């Protein structure tokens, strides 16, 4: 039996998940922190803080500490990690070993910042693992084999594209385009077409309810509320699925382009494996309707969304924690 508690953390730009070996998933909440400017105190974390986004009085700010997959605000990130570790019963006498998942694109300095924040938050030891490796392990891809596997994880802030073989990342590209950029594309489109200003959460709702990556066969629609950019007054507007599909085209083309680039500079033997096995999609944005079809059609390679795409990274992190020795090579500390 392990001597110390072992905790895995998927610190995502949109959602954070925490796993404790022996207990399972203990937390899944939005990566948002609300801070009081007056006392510089953390007022709320997670769901409670997310509801405050865009609705706070002057002296409270609600922040997303991870922007584009990296730490945008060190102190806030540390506060968030501290909150997570407290949920798992961490105290100065019970310090856990912690494995944190980070995007492959982060610099050495950023890696150090995540490790330091984790230690400062109360960990006994801190390790990092590359997100695509964790996602692949979580998707039960046999990563140790000498065969190429391509995994594309599209979250809130980033799209991580990686080719994995022999337990390591052979080739990767990280793009700062994810679900947030899709939401922004929807907002911009509605502002241009209807002079209508909508909030982040309305844009995300439109994407999840009627958004599609390919032109819809059956026309769905949704009524939303926003503010008229000219009169400044509130207004209702009906929006169709075709309009959302049009709005989503440019950011989806960026993701497609990045995947093509990675394929272009992957050695031919590995490309041949990828064609055989198909491309694995994970992350919340892989839930966008028709995304697998869109990418399969454009790339000529079958793309498949993993089961429970919001959980693949944390499931992989958990598997690594349970077999730390076996995966030792994949970790950094």
| Residues within the interface to Mg ion (CB under 5 A) | 12, 155
From 20, 29, 204, 273, residue interacting with ligand ADP (rule: CB under 6 A) = 204
Task: Check residue 279 for interaction with ligand ADP (CB under 6 A).
Answer: no
- Cβ neighbours, 10 Å, residue 62: 19
* Residue 264 · residue 299 · CB < 8 Å: no
Residue placing its CB nearer to Mg ion in the complex, 96 or 155: 155
Task: Check residue 155 for interaction with ligand ADP (CB under 6 A).
Answer: yes
Q: How far is the CB of 243 from Mg ion (least distance, A)?
A: 28
Q: Which entry of ligand ADP, Mg ion, none binds 156, CB below 5 to 8 A by partner kind?
A: ligand ADP
Q: Which helix or strand (DSSP H or E) is residue 281 part of?
A: strand 279-282
- Only one of the segments 134-142, 173-181, 239-247, 321-329 lies at the binding site for ligand ADP (rule: CB under 6 A); that segment is 173-181
Q: Site map for ligand ADP, 176-195, x if CB under 6 A?
A: --xxx---------------
Q: Which two tokens stand for residue 6?
A: 């072992």
60 vs 30, 43, 111, 130, 244, CA distance in Å?
18, 8, 29, 34, 33
* Residue 93 · residue 136 · CB < 8 Å: no
Q: Site map for ligand ADP, 11-50, x if CB under 6 A?
A: -xxxx-----------------------------------
Residue placing its CB nearer to Mg ion in the complex, 12 or 179: 12
From 46, 148, 157, 226, residue interacting with ligand ADP (rule: CB under 6 A) = 157
From 120, 144, 197, 287, residue interacting with ligand ADP (rule: CB under 6 A) = 287
Task: Check residue 222 for interaction with ligand ADP (CB under 6 A).
Answer: no
- The residues of the shown chain that bind ligand ADP, judged by CB under 6 A, are 12-15, 155-157, 178-180, 204, 207-208, 283-285, 287-288, 310
């Amino acid at each position: 039996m392990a001597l110390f508690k072992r905790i895995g953390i998927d610190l995502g730009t949109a959602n954070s998940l925490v796993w404790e070996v022996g207990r399972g998933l203990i937390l899944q909440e939005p990566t948002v922190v609300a801070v009081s400017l007056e006392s510089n105190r953390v007022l709320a974390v997670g769901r409670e803080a997310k509801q405050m986004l865009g609705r706070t009085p002057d002296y409270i700010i609600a922040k997303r500490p991870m922007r584009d997959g990296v730490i945008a605000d060190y102190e806030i990130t540390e506060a968030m990690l501290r909150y997570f570790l407290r949920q798992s019963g961490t105290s100065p006498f019970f310090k856990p070993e912690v494995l944190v998942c980070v995007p492959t694109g982060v610099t050495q300095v950023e890696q150090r910042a995540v490790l330091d924040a984790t230690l400062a938050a109360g960990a006994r030891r801190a390790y990092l693992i590359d997100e695509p490796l964790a996602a692949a392990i979580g998707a039960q891809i046999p990563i140790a084999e000498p065969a190429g596997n391509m995994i594309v994880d599209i979250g809130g802030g980033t799209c991580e594209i990686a080719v994995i073989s022999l337990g390591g990342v052979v080739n990767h590209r990280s793009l700062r385009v994810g679900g947030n950029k899709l939401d922004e594309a929807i907002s911009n489109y509605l502002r241009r077409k209807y002079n209508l200003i909508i909030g982040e959460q309305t844009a995300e709702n439109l994407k999840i309810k009627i958004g599609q990556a390919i032109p819809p066969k059956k026309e769905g629609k949704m009524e939303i509320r926003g503010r008229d950019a000219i009169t400044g007054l509130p207004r209702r507007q009906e929006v169709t699925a075709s309009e959302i599909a049009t709005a989503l085209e440019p950011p989806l083309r960026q993701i497609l382009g990045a995947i093509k680039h990675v394929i272009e500079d992957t050695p031919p033997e590995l490309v041949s494996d990828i064609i055989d096995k198909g491309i694995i999609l994970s992350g919340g944005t892989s839930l966008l309707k028709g995304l697998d079809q869109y990418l399969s059609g454009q790339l000529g390679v079958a793309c498949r969304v993993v089961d429970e795409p919001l959980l693949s990274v944390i499931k992989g992190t958990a598997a690594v924690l349970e077999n730390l020795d076996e995966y030792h090579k994949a970790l950094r500390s």
